[in-house]
Structure 1
Amino acid sequence: MCHIVEFLNMDRPHRSLTALTALCLLGSVAIVSAKDVLVGTRYITTEVQTASQVETGVYIAATCNGYQGDNVNVTVLLNNNPRWFPPAGVVYFYVVDDHSKNESEALCTNHPAGQSVLPYCVIDKWSSKSDLYVMTTAGEVEAVSFTIDVQFMPQKSKTTWDRPSKTLQRKRSVKFPVHRSGDYYLQEIVRLMTTERLAYLDELLLNVSFCPNEKTTQRYTIESTLFSVDVISSYTQYICTDLPCEVDGPNVVKFNGNQLPSNTIELTATHAEWQQIYVLVVCWGGNFDPQVGDYVGDFQYSGTILPNP
Structure 2
Amino acid sequence: MGHGVFAIVLLSTSVVTVFGQQYIRLPTSYVNQQLVRPEAKSIQVWNASVCASVSKTYHGYVVMVDINLPENLKWNPLLGVVYATVSNGTSITPTTPVFCQNYEADTAKSSCNYLYDEAMGPNIIVTVRAGDSSHIQYSLGVSFVNKTTQLASAKKTILSPEETKKMYEILALPVKSAVAVVNLVPMIRLDTPGVVDTLGVALYTFNVCPSQAIGSTFTIEIVVVGAQPDDAFSTYACKALPCTADNNNVIIADISDSSINVVQVSYNQIAPTGDVFLTIFGFGGKETNQFSLGAVVRSK
Fold shared by both chains (TM-score > 0.5): yes
Matched letter for residue 223 of structure 2: T
Paired with 1:115 and 1:126, the residues of 2 have a C-alpha distance of 29
Give yes or no for contact 2:47–2:183 (8 Å, CA) kept in 1. Answer: yes
For residues 45-84 of structure 1, the aligned pairs below 5 Å read 45-65=32-52, 66=55, 67-84=58-75
Structure number with the bigger relative contact order (C-alpha 8 A, sep ≥ 6) is: 2
Give yes or no for contact 1:205–1:280 (8 Å, CA) kept in 2. Answer: yes
Name the structure 2 match of 1:198: 196
Name the structure 1 match of 2:7: none
Q: Does 1:136 align with 2:122?
A: no
Matched letter for residue 167 of structure 1: T
Which of 215, 218, 223 aligns to 2:216? It is 218
Give yes or no for contact 2:251–2:269 (8 Å, CA) kept in 1. Answer: no
Unaligned regions of 5+ residues in structure 1, if any? 1-25, 288-294
Provide closer, same or farther for how the CA distance between residues 39 and 169 of structure 1 changes in structure 2, counting only shifts above 3 A. farther
Provide closer, same or farther for how the CA distance between residues 253 and 28 of structure 1 changes in structure 2, counting only shifts above 3 A. closer
Give yes or no for contact 1:62–1:212 (8 Å, CA) kept in 2. Answer: no
Give yes or no for contact 2:234–2:280 (8 Å, CA) kept in 1. Answer: yes
More helix by share: 2
Name the structure 1 match of 2:76: 85
Name the structure 1 match of 2:148: 156
Give yes or no for contact 1:209–1:277 (8 Å, CA) kept in 2. Answer: yes
Provide closer, same or farther for how the CA distance between residues 102 and 220 of structure 1 changes in structure 2, counting only shifts above 3 A. farther
Q: Secondary structure at the match of 2:255?
A: strand
How much is the aligned-residue C-alpha RMSD, in angstroms?
Answer: 2.9
Which of 177, 181, 186 aligns to 2:174? It is 177
Give yes or no for contact 2:79–2:135 (8 Å, CA) kept in 1. Answer: no
What is the TM-score normalised by the length of structure 1?
A: 0.77
Matched letter for residue 276 of structure 1: D
Unaligned regions of 5+ residues in structure 2, if any? 1-11
Which of 231, 234, 239 aligns to 2:232? It is 234
Which of 243, 250, 256 aligns to 2:254? It is 256
Which of 256, 260, 264 aligns to 1:266? It is 264
Name the structure 2 match of 1:277: 276
How far off is 1:151 after superposition? 1.3
Give yes or no for contact 2:40–2:131 (8 Å, CA) kept in 1. Answer: yes
How far off is 1:36 after superposition? 9.4
Is the deviation greater in 170-179 or in 80-89? 170-179
Paired with 2:247 and 2:48, the residues of 1 have a C-alpha distance of 35
How far off is 1:216 after superposition? 2.1
Give yes or no for contact 1:38–1:154 (8 Å, CA) kept in 2. Answer: no
Name the structure 2 match of 1:145: 137
Paired with 2:29 and 2:285, the residues of 1 have a C-alpha distance of 29
Name the structure 2 match of 1:9: none
Paired with 2:93 and 2:226, the residues of 1 have a C-alpha distance of 45
Superposition misfits of 4+ residues, deviation over 6 angstroms: 31-36
Q: How far does the alpha carbon of each residue in 1:200-225 deviate from its partner, in whole angstroms, 9 at most, with x for none?
A: 12123323222321232332222323
Give yes or no for contact 1:91–1:139 (8 Å, CA) kept in 2. Answer: yes
Give yes or no for contact 1:237–1:279 (8 Å, CA) kept in 2. Answer: yes
Name the structure 2 match of 1:207: 205
Q: How far does the alpha carbon of each residue in 1:234-280 deviate from its partner, in whole angstroms, 9 at most, with x for none?
A: 22211121333222333221222233434232323369837112212
Query: How many aligned positions are there?
Result: 273
How far off is 1:297 after superposition? 1.0
Matched letter for residue 14 of structure 2: S
Q: How far does the alpha carbon of each residue in 1:135-168 deviate from its partner, in whole angstroms, 9 at most, with x for none?
A: 11111122421111111012223x321323x635
Provide closer, same or farther for how the CA distance between residues 48 and 40 of structure 1 changes in structure 2, counting only shifts above 3 A. same
How far off is 1:191 after superposition? 3.3
Q: Secondary structure at the match of 2:243?
A: coil
Q: Secondary structure at the match of 2:203?
A: strand
Q: Secondary structure at the match of 1:123?
A: strand
Provide closer, same or farther for how the CA distance between residues 59 and 229 of structure 1 changes in structure 2, counting only shifts above 3 A. farther
Give yes or no for contact 1:90–1:144 (8 Å, CA) kept in 2. Answer: yes
Q: Secondary structure at the match of 1:29?
A: strand
Instruction: State the identity as a percent.
Output: 21
How far off is 1:30 after superposition? 4.4
